Structure 1
Amino acid sequence: MADNRLVHIVDDVPELDGPQRPESLTMVVVLDGFLDAGSAAARAAQHLVDLDDTGPGAGRVVATFEVDELHDYRARRPAVSFVVDRYQDYDAPRLVVRLLHDTGGTPYLLLQGPEPDIRWEAFARAVREVVERFGVTRTVSMGSVPMAVPHTRPIALTHHANDPELLIGVSPWRGELRVPSSAQALLEIRMGEWEHPMQGFVAHIPHYLAQLSYPQASTALLEQVELAGRLTVDLSGLRAEAEDREAEIATYLAEHEDVADVVAALERQYDAFERAEESGASLLAPDEPLPTGEEIGQQFEQFLAGLDEPGDPDDRNGGA
C-alpha cells in the first residue's frame, strides 16, 4: 500500500463519497518536466484548471504529496523574487490532486505538478492510494516529446495503455524501442500490475518549437483525453491561442527564407514517410535526407528569438 508520508488525502469530499459517489471517475495525470516539449501537457492541464468554475470549491485540492520527499531542489531550483533588499514570493513546487468538473458538470481529478526526481516506486504507491480512496475507474496521462516533424502537418500522437482494450488509436511505432523512463511510465506499469486501468497520449512536437508554448499540441492532447476520460472540454480558448501561434510562425517563415527551407525539407521527408507507410514500402526516403539536429539548431536559433521578441533583429539594431 502507499507510503503515508508521501500523500495526504482529504477525509471529507462529499461529492466523491456516499450516495453522491459517481459510478465512474477519471483522473488525469500531468507531471511537468521530462515529458513536456512545447509545454503542451502543462498548458493543457492549466486549461482544465482555468475552465473549472463550479463555485467556491472550484479546483479544490483533495490530495497533496510531500514534495520535499520527491524533489531535487538543486537540480530544479524554484524561482524566488529579490525585491530591493529582500527575498519574497518563493515559488514552492506543488504536487497535488484537484477535484475539477468538465463542461457538463462531470467531476474528475487532476494530478498535476513536477515529476518526482526520486522515490518513483513510493510515489506510484501513493498514487495508488489516491486511486483506491476515491474510486478512480480510469487514469489518463498526457505528455509531449520533440520530434523531427514539421509544424505544417497534423500533430501525431503516441497512444499507450496498460491494457490493449483501452487504446483508442494505433501506435505509429513498430517493434521495441528502448527509451529513457519517466515517473508517468513507471506509474502506468505499476497501475497495470495493481489492476487499475491507465492509458496516455504523447504528442510529437516539432523539435524547433520545443522551447516555445505550443497550444496546437495541447488541444490535440485534450481531444484525446475527452474520448478516453468520457469528459467534455471547451477547447475554444486553446484553439484561438493555436491560431495566433500559427500566424506568428507563418509570418516569421515568410520573412526568413533559410528557415523556411529547413521546414520544407522536413515536409518532404514527412510526406515521403507517409507515402511509404500507405504503400507498405520502405519507411526510409533516400532521396529526401532529413536535416540533422545540428543543422536545425543553427537555423532556428534566430527563429526562437524572433518569436520571443517583436520585429526583425536588424530592425532593432538599426539595420546593417
Structure 2
Amino acid sequence: MLDPSEIYDVEPDAAELLDAARTGLTHSGPVLVHAVRGFVDAGSAGQLAAVHLSEELRTTRLATFDVDQLLDYRSRRPTMTFDSTTWSSYAEPELVLDLVEDAAGVPFLLLRGLEPDIQWERYAAAVRQLVERFDVPLTIGIHGIPMGVPHTRPLSVTAHGTRAELVVNHTSWFGAVQVPASASALLEYRLGQAGHDAMGFAVHVPHYLAQSPFPQATIVALESVERATGLDLLLGSLTEAAREATEEIERQVEAAPEVSAVVRALEEQYDNFARSIGRTNFLGETAEIPTADELGEEFERFLAQQGKDGTTH
C-alpha cells in the first residue's frame, strides 16, 4: 500500500485549535461523524445531514483529501457551466474533514464529500491515522437505506458497530447477509480490527421515497448520533423542512391512487407486525425492545400467518 499520509493535508492552525479545544473534553478527543456520498443513501439522509451540520454549526477545515488520487472522473463526472462563450464554473469534487462545534461549543469532526472510487484500503488507513492523531474515541457513519415501510409511521434504524456493547440498545433487523461493500463500511471494519470503536446508523426510508430528499430520515439519523454522543446538533432547524416534505408527499400520494394503495398496504403490514410483537413504535424505550431472536421468531410467525391468509404480496 502507498503511504496513506500522502493523500491528505492537515491544516496546522485548525489542528492547533482542536488541540486547545480537547483540553476541555471529558474524553480523549472529539467523536468523528462521517457521511460521504456515492453509496446507497436513500432519502439523501446522510447527505442532508452533512449539509445541515456544515451550515448550521461553526466549522473549520481540518484536513483535505487529494481527490485526484481517489476518484474515477469518468464514472462520476463533475459538472461544469458553459456560459455563452466560456467555461464559467467547475463543481470541484471534495472529500474533507471539518472541525465542528455543536450548539454547546463541544468539538467533533465531520468527514464529508465524495466516496473514493479507488484506493479504499489507503483511504481507510488515512482516516485511521487521523483518528489516532486526534484521539477520536468513536467514529459514526450515517446514511439511509430503502425499506418496505410507510412514511406515515415512525422510522426505524439499523445500528451496527465494532463491539456488541455499542449497539446493545438497538434492535437487530437483519441476520447474516452479503451486500455490496462501501468505503464507509470498510472504514468501520478496519477501525474495529485496529481496536477503535466505530458504529453506524442506517435509517429505513420508504422505498418509494428513496430517490427524493427526505428530511425526516436525516432527523432520525442525527437523533441517533445525539443519543450516542451527547452532542447537540440543532435539529430544530430541520423541522420545517420535514413538515414541508410531508405535506408534499401527502399531496402526491393523494393524487396517485396506485401509490395510495401501496402506502395503505404498507401501513397495514406495519401495524399488524407491530401488534404481533406488542409494540406500536419500533423506536420505543430500550426496555420494550425484544431480543433479536424474539423479533426474528415473531416476524417469521407473522409472515407464515400472512401467507396462510393469502394477504402477503
TM-score range, shorter chain: 0.7 to 0.9
Picking from 24, 37, 48, the partner of 1:43 is 48
Q: List per-residue Cα deviations over 1:193-218 (Å, max 9, x = no partner).
A: 11111111001111111111100000
CA–CA distance in 1 between the matches of 2:221 and 2:185?
Answer: 17
Compared CA separation, residues 168 and 218, structure 1 to 2 (3 A)? farther
Give the Å deviation of 1:277.
Answer: 4.2
Picking from 31, 34, 49, the partner of 1:29 is 34
For structure 2, the 5+ residue unaligned runs are 279-296
Q: Which residue of 1 aligns with 2:84?
A: 84
Q: Which residue of 2 aligns with 1:304?
A: none
**SS of 1:44 mapped into structure 2:** helix
Runs of 4+ in structure 1 over 6 Å off? none
Query: Does structure 1 retain, via aligned residues, the 8 Å contact 2:32–2:111?
Result: yes
Q: List per-residue Cα deviations over 1:208-265 (Å, max 9, x = no partner).
A: 1111110000000000111112201111121111111111111222333232112111
Output aligned runs, 1:277-316, within 5 Å. Answer: 277-278=277-278, 280=298, 282-284=301-303, 285-286=306-307, 287-290=310-313
CA–CA distance in 2 between the matches of 1:178 and 1:83?
Answer: 47
CA–CA distance in 2 between the matches of 1:200 and 1:100?
Answer: 19
For structure 1, the 5+ residue unaligned runs are 54-58, 291-320
Give the aligned length: 285
Compared CA separation, residues 72 and 240, structure 1 to 2 (3 A)? same
Q: List per-residue Cα deviations over 1:42-75 (Å, max 9, x = no partner).
A: 101111111114xxxxx21111111111111111
Q: Which residue of 2 aligns with 1:229?
A: 229
Query: Does structure 2 retain, via aligned residues, the 8 Å contact 1:44–1:218?
Result: yes
Compared CA separation, residues 178 and 64, structure 1 to 2 (3 A)? same
**SS of 1:204 mapped into structure 2:** strand
Query: Does structure 2 retain, via aligned residues, the 8 Å contact 1:159–1:168?
Result: no
Q: Which residue of 2 aligns with 1:305?
A: none
Q: Which residue of 2 aligns with 1:250?
A: 250
CA–CA distance in 2 between the matches of 1:121 and 1:225?
Answer: 26
Stretch deviating more after TM superposition (172-181 or 238-247): 172-181
Query: Does structure 1 retain, via aligned residues, the 8 Å contact 2:18–2:99?
Result: no
**SS of 1:17 mapped into structure 2:** helix
Q: Which residue of 1 aligns with 2:60?
A: 60
Q: Which residue of 2 aligns with 1:146?
A: 146
CA–CA distance in 2 between the matches of 1:135 and 1:11?
Answer: 16
RMSD: 1.9
Aligned: 1:9 with 2:10 = yes
Q: Structure 2 length normalisation: TM-score? A: 0.86
Supply the AA of the counterpart residue of 2:264: A
Compared CA separation, residues 265 and 17, structure 1 to 2 (3 A)? same
Query: Does structure 2 retain, via aligned residues, the 8 Å contact 1:160–1:171?
Result: no
Query: Does structure 2 retain, via aligned residues, the 8 Å contact 1:28–1:109?
Result: yes
Query: Does structure 2 retain, via aligned residues, the 8 Å contact 1:78–1:90?
Result: yes
Give the Å deviation of 1:173.
Answer: 2.3
**SS of 1:223 mapped into structure 2:** helix
Q: State the percentage of identical aligned residues.
A: 41
Supply the AA of the counterpart residue of 1:16: L
Output aligned runs, 1:167-182, within 5 Å. Answer: 167=167, 169-182=169-182
CA–CA distance in 1 between the matches of 2:226 and 2:174?
Answer: 26
**SS of 2:73 mapped into structure 1:** coil
Query: Does structure 2 retain, via aligned residues, the 8 Å contact 1:265–1:288?
Result: no
Aligned: 1:127 with 2:127 = yes
CA–CA distance in 1 between the matches of 2:273 and 2:180?
Answer: 25
Q: Which residue of 2 aligns with 1:312?
A: none
Supply the AA of the counterpart residue of 1:14: E
Supply the AA of the counterpart residue of 1:60: T
CA–CA distance in 2 between the matches of 1:184 and 1:20?
Answer: 26
Q: List per-residue Cα deviations over 1:71-90 (Å, max 9, x = no partner).
A: 11111111111111111211
Aligned: 1:239 with 2:244 = no
Output aligned runs, 1:97-112, within 5 Å. Answer: 97-112=97-112
CA–CA distance in 1 between the matches of 2:152 and 2:116?
Answer: 34
**SS of 1:4 mapped into structure 2:** helix
CA–CA distance in 2 between the matches of 1:32 and 1:261?
Answer: 32
